[in-house]
Chain A
Amino acid sequence: TQLLEQSPQFLSIQEGENLTVYCNSSSVFSSLQWYRQEPGEGPVLLVTVVTGGEVKKLKRLTFQFGDARKDSSLHITAAQPGDTGLYLCAYFGSNTGNQFYFGTGTSLTVIP
């Protein structure tokens, strides 16, 4: 079940630049989660957004849940090489077995 579309698929930027990645769907979600997966490691939960229009900040990372709860964005300010990784969004399917379903991810490379 691939209800989540993430864009861009790949992103390569210079250290210090800003970027935004997107997680879009035509479905309404009760919440969305964002994970970061570093090379050779498992995903790590960054944040869960639950209210339409909600904005959460985690240091230089800003997460927003769309007003209609169909989409979410992750904005990184002044990217650093340590931000390199795969960013995944996921939704919880309460109508489909109470499981989490993941998007295909955005692979970010920050060049020093």
Chain B
Amino acid sequence: NAGVTQTPKFQVLKTGQSMTLQCAQDMNHEYMSWYRQDPGMGLRLIHYSVGAGITDQGEVPNGYNVSRSTTEDFPLRLLSAAPSQTSVYFCASSYKATRSSQETQYFGPGTRLLVL
């Protein structure tokens, strides 16, 4: 198993450009999520999905869209990039949609995004 994969690893955008960050998992996990990591802020949840066709907002959803058409894929879209979206983005997945405080989340390697 490849686990959780993310592409691209690095991306530079100009303000106003759009792009899609890709995330895929091959573990048949029901739950997938997107976090952003900023210095001094820790990991903050952007959007999540409990299964194909079901998505919901996390703590910091503004400026981002998601969709979940398959169990495996969970892309994150930036419609009009802003410098405040400069960050490292992590995709994560876990086995069950029914969350548990003892579950294991598996993280991808991250996408480093710079918005100029």
Contacts and interface: CB of A to CB of B under 8 A. Distances in A.
* B42, B59, B104, B105 pick with most chain A CB within 10 angstroms: B42
Dominant SS among interface residues on chain A: loop
Contacts, number: 55
Dominant SS among interface residues on chain B: loop
Nearest to B108: A42
A32 to B, nearest CB: 9
A7 interface: no
A27 interface: no
B107 A50 contact: no
A69 B102 CA distance: 15
B101 A102 contact: no
B48 A2 contact: no
A103 B42 contact: yes
Contacts of A43: 43, 90, 107
B40 interface: yes
Nearest to A43: B107
A102 B101 CA distance: 13
B109 A45 contact: no
A30 B101 contact: yes
A104 B105 contact: no
A105 interface: yes
A42 B4 contact: yes
Interface string A78-112: 00000000001011101001111111110000000
Given A30-B101, A94-B101, A104 B42 contact: yes
A49 to B, nearest CB: 10
Interface in A34-54: 40-45, 48, 50
Interface of A: 1-2, 4, 30-31, 40-45, 48, 50, 88, 90-92, 94, 97-105
8 shortest interchain CB distances as A-B pairs: A42-B107, A92-B101, A98-B99, A102-B43, A102-B42, A31-B101, A104-B42, A48-B102
